[in-house]
Amino acid sequence: QVVLVQSGAEVKMPGASLRMSCMTSGYSFTDYFLHWLRKAPGHGLEWLGLINPRSGTTTYAQKLEGRVTLTRDASSATVYLHVSSLKSGDTAVYYCAREGRDGDYKYWGQGTLVTVSA
């Protein structure tokens, strides 16, 4: 079955950088786009960006463009989210999600809690 497993919780200082991973299994890695989203306390779900695992092509939310980078490693069927210049407003649970069909999210990782605090 399709499984997405994310890396563990992180605590970071403001200004630091962060890389988290999402390891996939149970399907052909290059057949579906993978997305990253987050849910901050008191806020709704926010889309961060997507990556085409076949080509490595990415699209980012304009709000975070320049601070977010998505990469992939096809050999391990893993995608990575890198966020730089962290702020307290980046405190959130981060999710990776795989498309079901056209952009709906049928499969989700378990979530990674990121806390940015001095």
Q: Give the range of 10-18, 68-76, 80-88, 106-114 binding another protein by CB under 8 A.
A: 106-114
DSSP 51-113: E-TTT--EEE-GGGBTTEEEEEEGGGTEEEEEE-S--GGG-EEEEEEEESSSS-EEEE---EE
56 lies in the site for another protein, by CB under 8 A: no
59 lies in the site for another protein, by CB under 8 A: yes
Binding-site ranges for another protein (CB under 8 A): 35, 44-47, 50, 59, 61-63, 95, 97, 100-106, 108-111
